Structures are given as C-alpha cells and as structure tokens.
A and B are shown apart, each in its own frame.
Chain A
Amino acid sequence: MELLSYAAFFLTTALVFALITLGLNLQWGLTGLFNVGVAGFVAVGAYVSAILTTPDDAARIGGFALPLPLGWLAAMLAAGLVAAIVGVATLRLKSDYLAITTFGVAVVVQLVALNAQGLTGGPFGIGFIPRPFATLAETPLIFNLANLAVVALVTLLVYLALEHLAKSPWGRVLKALREDERAAISLGKSARFYRVQAFALGGAVMGLAGAVQAHFIGFIAPENYLPTLTFQVWTMLIVGGSGSNRGAVLGSILVWAIWVGSGTFVAAFVPTDQQARAAALQIVAIGVMLCLILLLRPSGLLRARVPREG
C-alpha cells in the first residue's frame, strides 16, 4: 500500500516534468528554438495560478480565490504572453540571442519571486494553494491516486493536442522552417510569425505545468525554480530524443527515476553533513551525461526507430 501510494506520487511528479518537457519539445524539437529559461516560464505559471486561486493573505496581494481551472488558464496565458514578447524581441536575430534572453527571463523571474514580497510572498513563497482533492488527504493512497489521475489526464490531453498540431498544416510549416528555412519562406510562410507562435505555445504549456505542480504540492517558493530545473528538463528531452513527444514523456520518467533513485541512495548512505556535497555531485553526473549523449547519441537514448523526417 505504502509502495503503491509512493509510486503514484512519483509518477505524478514525473508527469509534471513530462508536461514541461512537452512544452520544450514544441519549442526545440519541432521548431529548433533554444530556451535556457524554462524554469522562468514554469515559475510564471505557478505564481499566476497561485496568486489568483489562494484565499486572502494580509502579507501580499491576492484573496481572489478564483476556481482552479481559471487559475490554470491564466497561468497558460501569462507564461504564453511572456514567451511571445521574448519571441518578438529576439526571433528576428540569431538563435543565440534567444538563448541569452530566455536565460535573462529566468533570472528576472527569480528576482521578482524573491523580492516583490507584496506580489509573490518573497523568499517564504505562497502557501495554502488549493489542492483539487484536499478532502481526500487523510488517506494518502487515494489522495495520491486522484492527483495522479488529474495530472495524467492533463498530460494526455496536452500530448494528444501536440501530436495533432505536429501533423497539422501548422506543424508541417514549423518542420519545413526547421529543415530548410529558405525553401519554406519561398513558399510564402513568415518564418518569424510561425516561430513566435510555437514559442508562445510552448511557454504556455510550461506555465500550465507550473500551475498544475503548484496545486498538487500546495506550496511554492522561489527556490523551486532555479536553473537546475531548466537543466533537468533539457536532459529529459535530450535523453528521450528531441522531436518526439513520446520520447519527451518517456525521457522525463526515466531521468526523474534516475534523479530520485540517486537522491535516495545519497540520503541513505551519505552522512548528513556531506549530503549537500553529494547532491552537487549528482548534478555533475547528470551534466556529464547530457554532454555524453550530445556527443555520442544526439538523437536520444530512447529514439531507436524514428528516422529523421525530411
């Protein structure tokens, strides 16, 4: 029972990562846009939904107590809007500028989360975020399963929508732009316009993931959205094989399993005073793994059968 309950919890967290990775796959895998500020977009979604749905708190703005679906919708809109602005600013320039700007977005979002206390609660974060099945919380198994069902449903919907989009005329234009920009432009497709759309949509998916996670944990704080998050999501996408939505989901679950597994190992076998150092070594290992995959198997570990379209 304990184990099943934990498995549900593990899978819920992994699927939230899968959602973020799906958003990144739309930006990178399908469109070739490099986002180094994933954590920033996730944070925007989480904070917007949290601020809109929480009850009144004297220390900060809020008390809107809106229903949960509205919070999620607003999270998608806000993160999508930020992504669209970044896209308009940088997508006419070289791809590196997008990378640098998204990196900056993540830094600034982190600053706002830490310092704009009246809006975000500052370093203490936001608590008492409504959880969809709070009444079931007394029996952890049912609570975790219910959460898993919701997150799995959202992930499935996003997955199906993205699969559909990738096959639609819109998705085919994106692929054409990625493979041969000049040919696509000669067919009368505005490269920048399509890219801004894809980038904004990917950002919206990340925002939704942030909101979903906030409502399933019930508490958010700035340190949830450090560059390590961006880095984890990138590793998940690269391991799964960029370009494939299925790979994005599988890569997320696999990398999260490795992450949690090594974390449990560290907690069990490393003395308490050395655990921070062991955790650092964990990130070193994942970083080396990312570089090795880029060097040796750039199409991803799980991507054996898919030939490159084109």
Chain B
Amino acid sequence: MNPQFLIDGLLTGSMIGLGAIGVTLTYSILRFSNFAHGDLMAWGTYATLLIVGAITALFGKVAPFSPLSFGWPLMLALALAMVVTGGLALLLDRILFSRLRAKGQMIIVVMASFGASMALRNMLEFLFTSRPAYFSRAIQIAMPVGFGLRITPDQIALLILTAVLVTLVHLIMTRSRIGREMRAVSQNPALARVAGIDVARVVRFTWLIGGALACVAGVMIGVLVQIRPLMGFDMLLPIFAAAILGGIGSVPGAVLGGLIIGLSEAAAVQIVGAEWRAAVAFLILMAVLFIRPIGLFGVKER
C-alpha cells in the first residue's frame, strides 16, 4: 500500500475533525444533532470566496505568499468569514432552534435542522449554481518529505492551522471560565443555572465556536479540493460518525475520531476504490453503535 494515504488521511481527518468539534459541542450543550452543520461549512466557504473577491476588487491582484497558493486576502477573508458563519449559526438559533427548544421536544429541533439544511444548501445553489468554484487555479508541486511521502505547501499550512485551532479550543474548554461553564451546562443544565451560570451566553458561545470552525473546515476543502454547494452536506456523515466515535461532548475525541475516519477513508480509497469512500464512515459508525455506543472518550448520560 502506498504510504501517501497517511497524508491524505491526515488532511481529510482534519476537515472532519474541525466539523465534528462543532457537532459534538452542539450535541452536548444544546442536546440535538444539527443536520445543518455541513451547510454552515459551505456557507462559510462561499462567504470567504466573496470576501476574497471584494478584497481583490479593492486592492487589485495580490501576490500569494510563495510557495503557498494564497496570500493575505484569503487569511483576512477567512478570519472575517469565521465571524460571519458564527453569526449565521447564532441567527439560525435565534429565529428557529431556540424557539423550538423552548417547546421541549428535542427531536423536533433535529427535524427543523434538516429542513434548514435543505433550505441553506439550495439557497447556495440558487445564488452560485452547482458549478464548482476555486480559490486558486494554480497547481502546486508536492515536495517529497521522506519515506516516499509528498506534501504541498498549502497542505502543510492547513495542517498547522488545524493543530493551532484544536489546541486553542481545547485550552478554552479546559482552562477558561467560559469553557468550564460550557462543560457544566453539558453535564447538568439545571444545576449550572442554579450555580449562577448564564446559560444563554454559553449557548451563544457554542454556536460561535461551532460556526467558526465549520467555516475553517469548509475553506480547507475549498483550498485543497473545490467549492460546491454540496461540499458540506457530503461531509455530514463522516462528521457525525467522528463525533460519535470520539464520544459526544469530547473535543479531543472529535478530533481523534475525525483523524481515524479520515485515515480509514484514505486507506479504503487505495484498497477498494474511491467510489466507496463514503461507506467507510457508515461502517465505523455502525461498529461503534454496536460495540461501544458512548464512544472513545464519552461519558454515560445521566
């Protein structure tokens, strides 16, 4: 087997892991699986694309940081789009999810997220058509890094970005006040409220983090593959599988689950062929549900 699958798997795994962090946080704090999460990724990517276009219109073509395929416009656009995507998630919660949550039937919220996912995705298809778009059409030469492995500068940059973001989120969750409050709400919302925690603030922060990371994951796909309205929805199954494999509510679990699924997918592409890639996540999901439904780092629900 060609060892190159390690690099491909690491990259796919990073995208899945970043998406899974959002899903696992929404699930553990708001207690529903958000089927619109993949479409937040796509919205974030298109927002980035639009902002890059606006910057190019204002400042003219900016030379990329050699040897990367992108320059400061993309980085600035990504930072802005992360805020926009977080805002979009907040807006969805305000007009839809929070009202249904108040009625108490969580599964209705799941259904609404499915409806919202359809609407969001087709809105993109209406605005941008289903034709794929690209951040850059430049072709990058993969450099050899030993052991027969090759990697492009873009890929290295995005892997570093993922590592930084994951560490940051982990530090926030374990060291900061808002992180402790988030964990408290996920373990026992009623008790957290009694202890004086502002649950509404925790909820807002959860959506912001989830939306921002979804945006990064989407832009990674956009830089390394292509931008399509379906790009996020197609990632939904691996993302859910990663969140469940890692254990609902666990950030390190979501990332590890993402990497495991990414690597398995990349290995499967070499063994059985690329067309069966999406089945890998499903097989892993079923195995977890049968053998250890609480996942690798999960805790039993009370």
Contacts and interface: CB of A to CB of B under 8 A. Distances in A.
Are A and B interaction partners? yes
A280 B289 contact: no
B217 interface: no
Interface in A39-83: none
A226 B162 CA distance: 32
A118 interface: no
A234 interface: yes
Nearest to B273: A115
B279 interface: yes
A97 B298 CA distance: 14
B126 A294 contact: no
B234 to A, nearest CB: 9
The B interface, classified by DSSP as helix, strand, loop or mixed, is helix
Q: For the side of the interface on B, what is the size category?
A: 35 or more
Interface in B18-46: 27, 32-33, 35
A34 interface: yes
Q: For the side of the interface on A, what is the size category?
A: 35 or more
A103 B279 CA distance: 12
A114 B275 contact: yes
A231 B110 contact: no
A108 B275 CA distance: 11
A27 B129 CA distance: 35
A99 B33 contact: yes
A294 B27 contact: no
A291 B122 CA distance: 15
Contacts of B114: 36, 231, 234
A103 B237 contact: yes
Interface in B81-120: 96, 99-100, 103, 106-108, 110-112, 114-120
The A interface, classified by DSSP as helix, strand, loop or mixed, is helix
Contact of A90 (B96, B100, B115, B289): B289
A34 B35 CA distance: 13
B123 A280 contact: yes
B282 interface: yes
5 contacts: A111-B278, A278-B126, A284-B126, A287-B115, A288-B115
Interface of B: 27, 32-33, 35, 96, 99-100, 103, 106-108, 110-112, 114-120, 122-123, 125-126, 129-130, 233, 236-237, 240-241, 244, 275-276, 278-279, 281-282, 285-286, 289-290, 293, 301
Given A89-B289, A96-B32, A295-B100, 14 more contacts: A93-B289, A99-B35, A100-B33, A101-B289, A104-B281, A234-B114, A283-B119, A284-B122, A284-B126, A287-B120, A288-B115, A288-B119, A294-B100, A294-B111
Interface of A: 32, 34, 36, 89-90, 93-97, 99-101, 103-105, 107-108, 111, 114-115, 227-228, 231, 234-235, 238, 276-278, 280-281, 283-284, 286-288, 290-291, 294-295, 298
